[in-house]
Structure 1
Amino acid sequence: MRITRHRYTVKPEYVAQNRQNLDEFIAALTSAAVPGLSYRIFLEEDGQTFLHLVTSQDDPSAVITGLPSFKKFQSELLASDPVATPDQVGMSLIASSGESFR
């Protein structure tokens, strides 16, 4: 299983646009129906920091980066001059309790 965490902080005036871009991206990714892929996006308490948690059986990067809505999200995010640029961290699951949530 592959687990990746992406985290970045946007300026307050860009939050609404980022959320709209993410809604479009998630709709397209859901339509792609990639088996074994879960893509969750969280907004931290500061209201500006986004955390993406991706779990998959295989490497989903080709599917994700091939979506026009992802390209739009990514290019507009970088053009918005984020407070903290996106970082990426690979992780390994070592323990779990309960079922996954939606």
Structure 2
Amino acid sequence: MINVIVTYTVKPEFVSENKSNIQKFLNDFKTLDQAKFEYKVFVKEDGVTFVHFSNYENEEVQNEVLNIPSFKEF
């Protein structure tokens, strides 16, 4: 199993657009086999720090997920 945690901070004026971009790829992920990976996004209390938590069954699944066009655009 592959586990990844990514944390980053955006400018306050970009929060809404960032959330919208995240929702796009999360919606596209729903077309994939959800039993093979997990992807969650959290916003810290400061409202501008995002944490992406993901785990994948294997590298093949990870590559499939991360190559979804909306994710690559993100």
TM-score range, shorter chain: 0.7 to 0.9
Aligned twin of 2:72: 71
Q: Give the total of aligned pairs.
A: 73
For residue 29 of structure 1, report the CA deviation from its aligned partner.
0.9
Q: Does 1:24 align with 2:24?
A: yes
Q: Greater Rg, structure 1 or structure 2? A: 1
Q: Does residue 33 in structure 1 map to residue 33 in structure 2?
A: yes
Residue in 1 that maps onto 2:8: 8
Describe the superposition over 1:37-58 as per-residue Cα deviations: whole angstroms up to 9, x where unpaired.
0000000000000001111211
Q: CA RMSD in A?
A: 1.3
Q: Identity of aligned pairs, percent?
A: 33
The separation in 2 between residues aligned to 1:22 and 1:5, in whole angstroms, is: 15
Q: Report the Cα distance in structure 2 between the residues aligned to 1:35 and 1:28, rounded to whole angstroms.
A: 15
- Structure 2 CA distance, aligned partners of 1:7 and 1:25? 17
Cα distance, 1:34 vs. partner? 4.5
Q: Where do 5+ consecutive residues of structure 1 fail to align? A: 74-102
